[in-house]
Amino acid sequence: MTYVAATDRYESIEYKRVGRSGLKLPAVSLGLWNNFGFDRPIETQRAILRRAFDLGVTHFDLANNYGPPAGSAETNFGRIFADDFRQHRDELIISTKAGYGMWDGPYGEWGSRKSMLASLDQSLERMGLDYVDIFYSHRPDPETPIEETMGALATAVTSGRALYAGISNYDTEQTIAAHKALAEHKIPLLIHQPRFNMFDRHIETEGLLPVLDDLGMGSIVFSPLAQGMLTDRYLAGIPADSRAAEGRWITSENIDETYLERASALNEIAAGRGQSLAQLALSWVLRHPQVTSALIGASSVAQLENNISALESAPLSQEEIAAIEPFAVHGTGD
């Protein structure tokens, strides 16, 4: 059936400016990391993407290695984009990344100029795109000078294969160095994509957030629900079809008594606000002005809708933030 986008898609979602740039992102973006590979039905993926766009989610985030297997999320997205979204290309922010292993030999991962630009060209081909809106260095390379990696991002922008440059998984000092290196090419470093949630608070303790302010950068945080641990999925046991049962990214060992105590307490706070635990977790990460957007995954339309509804709730009060604090403990579930 031909897709016709909802006419009211821009009426309810909030769009936030990325640092001091001219770009705005939806407060919640859709990540295609773990639910858009060849192991999932393409029509389920299509339904999620359509519903996301109908709800005003204009940002779809990918990487070369997303799947499984690696590359398959971009391939599937390219199929759906060609059928449903090509006429909406100028309404979309599509991002991809390079840095993790993709092909055999010494050039198939990390941050060399060779690897970064070859990977970008492969990603564009898989997705059937002329350009991506944001191209990220997915992780810092301990052996390649940061100036080389940022030079590759600069080339991606100046060649028209990307509109903006970003980084992911860089620490505070690396972020400062990356910003400086890219500035030598007169290209701003737009955005940082770190992991951040109630159980992983390293960007707060390491001082990244004020540095983003100083540099004029925004951020889009991944894993705001801690791989499902900040949902009600594990509060009454481990479902057979869950990531913990499958050993996919987390295991049953992560669901220990300390985790259950803290997650249950957070769930009660969420219920007092009329939210699910997942919605509370999203409200919590978005409370920081430096967090432009939160990346969510979705395995169903219902899950997508539940998470996006977090934006309908009132901002957290100082009293609620204080009540959350004893249970939002870094390292929970590790």
For 248, which DSSP code?
S
pLDDT at 252: 72
The residues near 264 (Cβ < 8 Å, ≥ 6 apart) are 235
Lowest-confidence pick of 105-109, 217-221, 227-231: 227-231
**Separation of CA 119 from chain center:** 19
* Whether the predicted pLDDT of 248 surpasses 70: no
> Taking a C-beta distance cutoff of 8 angstroms, is the pair 95, 166 a contact?
yes
* Whether the predicted pLDDT of 94 surpasses 70: yes
Residue with tokens 């999925």: 233
* Cis peptide preceding 315, ω within 30 of 0: no
pLDDT at 123: 98
pLDDT at 238: 66
For the segment 176-193, what is each residue's pLDDT rounded down to a tens digit? 999 999 999 999 999 999
The token pair at 133 is 């809106």
pLDDT at 243: 66
> Taking a C-beta distance cutoff of 8 angstroms, is the pair 21, 15 a contact?
no
> Taking a C-beta distance cutoff of 8 angstroms, is the pair 102, 65 a contact?
yes
Percentage of the chain beyond pLDDT 90 is 91
Residue 273's SS3 state is coil
Q: Give the C-alpha separation, 219 to 224, whole Å.
A: 13
* Whether the predicted pLDDT of 91 surpasses 80: yes
pLDDT at 242: 67
Query: Which helix (H) or strand (E) element contains residue 52?
Result: helix 42-54
Q: Give the C-alpha separation, 152 to 309, whole Å.
A: 38
Query: 249: pLDDT confidence band, cut at 50, 70 and 90?
Result: low
For the segment 30-66, what is each residue's pLDDT rounded down to a tens digit? 999 999 999 999 999 999 999 999 999 999 999 999 9
For 317, which DSSP code?
P
Look at strands 15-17 and 24-26 and give their pairing. Answer: antiparallel
Domains contained in the chain, CATH given: 17-193 (3.20.20.100)
Mean of pLDDT values over 91-102: 98
3-state helix, strand, coil in the chain (%, to 5): 40, 15, 45
**Whole-structure pTM value:** 0.96
> Taking a C-beta distance cutoff of 8 angstroms, is the pair 60, 29 a contact?
yes
Residue 109's SS3 state is coil
Mean of pLDDT values over 124-145: 98
Mean of pLDDT values over 151-172: 98
Largest Cα separation within the chain, whole Å, is 54
